[in-house]
A = this chain, B = another copy of it.
């Protein structure tokens, strides 16, 4: 797999199947994982795979959109864990057929600001 789209699709599939060896094959040994919302960073394939393997609960990753070119990829996915059911996003950087960076976003629900009720509906 040389382009980001194929790597991202395989990433989501192997994560969902808890195929940790298969996941590791997709990752550069020096992969960096970042969570901008919490300002957390994990360095290295071993620690990043361990982070996923240790993530508690019966969580599920269901891809909705997978995009990629020679350098970057993106994944929109449905995340389910107990009562949680939300859309989350990851962006990827790839080089030489491996994922070198994962940037993860967990957009949580919030109340809308006022002042735009004349334009919006709620669901």
Contact = CB atoms under 8 A, between A and B. Distances in A.
A108 B111 contact: no
Given A67-B69, A72-B65, A91-B76, A41 B120 contact: yes
B40 A112 contact: yes
Interface stretch (A9-17, A18-26, A31-39): A31-39
A121 B72 contact: no
A105 B123 contact: no
A37 B109 contact: yes
A74 interface: yes
Nearest to A76: B91
B42 A120 contact: yes
A1 interface: no
A83 interface: no
A20 B42 CA distance: 41
Contacts of A74: 65, 67, 74, 76
Interface of A: 35-43, 47-48, 50-51, 54, 56, 65, 67-69, 72-74, 76, 86-87, 89, 91, 103, 105-112, 115-116, 119-123
Task: Return the 4 tightest CB-CB contacts between A and B, nearest first.
Answer: A38-B112, A67-B67, A74-B74, A105-B107
